[in-house]
Amino acid sequence: MFDTKTYSSEVNQALCDYLLRLADSSLILGHRLSEWCGHGPILEQDIAMSNLALDLIGQARNWYQLAAQQAGLGQTEDDLAYLRDAPQYRNVLLVEQPNGDFGQTVMRQFLFDAYHYYLLQKLGQSADENIAAIAQKSLKEVTYHLKWSSEWVIRLGDGTEESQRRIQTALNNLWEFTGELSKPDQTDEILHAAGLVPDLRKIQADWQNRVLSVLTEATLQIPTRTWMQKGGKEGIHTEHLGYILAEMQFLQRAYPDCEW
């Protein structure tokens, strides 16, 4: 599968943690989007959202496979996805937030896509070839995701009074989950020093520029609140993740050690 490199145990541990963050965020967002399947506002967009979900689930699988191999414990992608409980999950809080109405789903997608896009762009230049390869492949997909979600934010923001009210509410509700996206912690620092991952502070600037420009075009008010929620990257989640996992992992938990 992957021709993995050997790192010091400190770096390797940080790397496994980091890969799980990437995988978990993609999986949980993909899972959330897949909840829309069959319930979208119009057939064409139902299909579009499933495409986003499939891209994200595919990315998660790649990151899990790399994480499993890098950890060297003989785990599979499914062991990682289905047999870890919420405190072991490393996704950002933003992606586990409920779908809400279509406006909330679109806004959640946009805020994450803008971050995901710049992150993958930089990860594509990682000194680790495996990370670079997965990131480059994912970036093609996420470039389209960001286009899709930006356009919808603008359409809904500058659409009708009702759509503007709804998408503004979504923005206000989700804003507090954007702080942790680009706030570096020890894992980020160790890996950045090793040349494997980018400096999140640089991504913060790109993210902000893009987000502000789209929100402005969408005629939306930027929330002034600065207090941010955090914890996803360390495994301290909102209440929502537990329910997602209860549903997602039920078969693997109820019938352990089976092939499916």
Interface residue list for other proteins (CB under 8 A)? 27, 31, 34-35, 37-48, 50-51, 53-54, 57-58, 60-61, 64, 77-78, 81-82, 101-103, 147-148, 151, 154-156, 158-160, 162-163, 166, 244, 247-248, 250-252, 255, 258-260
Please identify, using beta-carbon distances, which residue of 21 and 188 lies nearer to other proteins: 21
The minimum distance between CB 161 and other proteins, in angstroms, equals 9
The minimum distance between CB 159 and other proteins, in angstroms, equals 3
Please identify, using beta-carbon distances, which residue of 9 and 160 lies nearer to other proteins: 160
Closest CA to 171 of 153, 145, 146, 147: 153
The minimum distance between CB 129 and other proteins, in angstroms, equals 23
Please identify, using beta-carbon distances, which residue of 157 and 198 lies nearer to other proteins: 157
Q: How far is CA 65 from CA 53, 88, 144, 221, 258, in A?
A: 18, 17, 24, 41, 19
The minimum distance between CB 141 and other proteins, in angstroms, equals 12
The 10 Å CB-count burial string (b at 16+, else e) for 30-41 is bbbbbebeeebe
The minimum distance between CB 137 and other proteins, in angstroms, equals 15
Please identify, using beta-carbon distances, which residue of 96 and 180 lies nearer to other proteins: 96
Distance, in Å, from the CA atom of 29 to the CA atom of 172, rounded to the nearest integer, reads: 19
Long-range contacts of 156-161 (CB under 8 A, 24+ apart): 156/102, 156/103, 156/106, 156/218, 157/215, 157/217, 157/218, 157/219, 157/220, 158/217, 158/218, 158/219
CB 196 within 8 A of CB 127: yes
Please identify, using beta-carbon distances, which residue of 43 and 73 lies nearer to other proteins: 43
Closest CA to 109 of 180, 46, 32: 32
Please identify, using beta-carbon distances, which residue of 41 and 231 lies nearer to other proteins: 41
The minimum distance between CB 166 and other proteins, in angstroms, equals 7
Distance, in Å, from the CA atom of 111 to the CA atom of 180, rounded to the nearest integer, reads: 12
